[in-house]
Amino acid sequence: MSISEIYLLPKTTPFNLTYSYWSSDQTAADNTEIGTGSQGDGGIIPMLGYSFFPKERNITLSPGWKRISAACSNEVKNKRVQEYSLIPEGTRDPFSGIIWLSLDAIDKRLKYTHDDAKEMCENLTLYGRSWRLPTVEELYGIVDYAFTRPSVDMKFFGVMMQRYYWTSDSLNDKEAYVVGFKLGGIATAPKSEAVYARCVSE
């Protein structure tokens, strides 16, 4: 199963919460050696696999030699075709109805604590709309593994930082979920940490 399929399984799926689960998705590691010859031949490209840790609903990358569980399915994989459209406010997702604020509307280089990110979005009055932080499902929903560094279609979502972005969802009082756009992972970060943010409207 793809990592997106695993993540979108119902939360009642009977995973063993102490295990991680392999997906079918892979990406090149940061320490890729493209080649040693004059034409770039003879190199080795180490690959990392995407895995899902259901206890904290994280998506991480692990080396292929690591022995962890696997999630399998006998259903045919159906990839949802994205039909985003560019509008004055930013990007509209007709599937969810969400509007993603254009990166040009605010300084995309700024980082925020979790509370400050929520406040920043909620204080926006651009285009006469109410804005908020996206949920983890919404933010992960724009991850596209056809792209890396950043793992998003820049035609519709701009040149996002290859770092983590806040979501509105919390793991506990001290940590909240973040989605990474370097390789498309999901993790948690201390709410006091400075992290990038994007805003959405409905």
Give the pLDDT confidence of 183-200 residue by residue, as tens digits.
Answer: 899 999 999 999 999 999
Tell me what pLDDT residue 118 has. Answer: 97
- What is the residue-wise DSSP string for 72-103? ---SPP-PPPP--EEETTEEE-TTT--EEEPG
Other beta carbons within 10 angstroms of residue 144's beta carbon come to 18
In degrees, rounded to 5, the angle at the alpha carbon of residue 149 between the alpha carbons of residues 69 and 31 is 65
Contacts of 76 (CB under 8 A, 6+ apart): none
- Domain boundaries along the sequence of the chain: 3-70, 85-201
- CATH assignment, 85-201: 3.10.100
State the pTM of this model: 0.78
Q: What is the DSSP letter of 134?
A: P
Tell me what pLDDT residue 38 has. Answer: 44
Phi, psi (deg, nearest 5) at residue 132:
-155, 170
- SS3 state of residue 42: strand
What gap in Å lies between CA 27 and CA 155, rounded to an integer?
Answer: 21
Residue ranges of the chain whose pLDDT lies below 70: 30-45, 75-82
